[in-house]
Amino acid sequence: MAVRAVRGATQIDADDRDQILEATTELVAEVMSRNGLSTDDVISVIFTVTPDLTAEFPALAARKLGFHEVPLLCATEIGVPGALPRVIRLMAHIETGRPRADVQHVYLRGATALRLDIAQ
């Protein structure tokens, strides 16, 4: 098994607790599904949000999905002028037999604009 990092992001319409939890749940579920992962495969997850999102911690959504023993961290992205607003990002460190090139990074909703080269 190798340690790999998988990235993902999504965008929401407003700084709303329910939207943050819903979008984060969708993002985490897609990362797990597309990479054939269980929570036992996840070493840790770092969530970031743009400075305009303060209504809830994205990690709460992961906890509700069963990430009880996985270290989770939330942080704020730097406020770069002109950056895409209302974005939730994650970087998960995982144990997997997949080669680096086969790791599926997940960009959903408006966040597909961040990585047009790999967005599905």
| pTM, two decimal places | 0.95
Confirm whether 89 is a catalytic residue: yes
**Residue 120 in domain:** no
DSSP 23-85: HHHHHHHHHHHHTT--GGGEEEEEEEE-TT--SS-THHHHHHTT-SSS-EEEEEPP--TTPPS
CATH code, 22: 3.30.1330.40
Q: Note the pLDDT tens digit of each residue in 71-101.
A: 999 999 999 999 999 999 999 999 999 999 9
Confirm whether 115 is a catalytic residue: yes
Confirm whether 7 is a catalytic residue: yes
| Cα distance between residue 20 and residue 23, in whole Å | 5
Q: In terms of residue numbers, what domain contains 18? A: 2-115
Q: Report pLDDT for 100.
A: 94
Confirm whether 30 is a catalytic residue: no
Q: Note the pLDDT tens digit of each residue in 23-81.
A: 999 999 999 999 999 999 999 999 999 999 999 999 999 999 999 999 999 999 999 99
Tell me how many domains the chain contains. 1
Exactly one of 22, 30, 77, 98 is catalytic; name it.
77
Distances (CA, A) of 101 to 5, 65, 105, 115: 11, 27, 10, 16
**Residue 26 in domain:** yes
Confirm whether 107 is a catalytic residue: yes
**Residue 50 in domain:** yes
**Residue 60 in domain:** yes
**Residue 52 in domain:** yes
**Residue 16 in domain:** yes
Exactly one of 22, 26, 34, 74 is catalytic; name it.
74
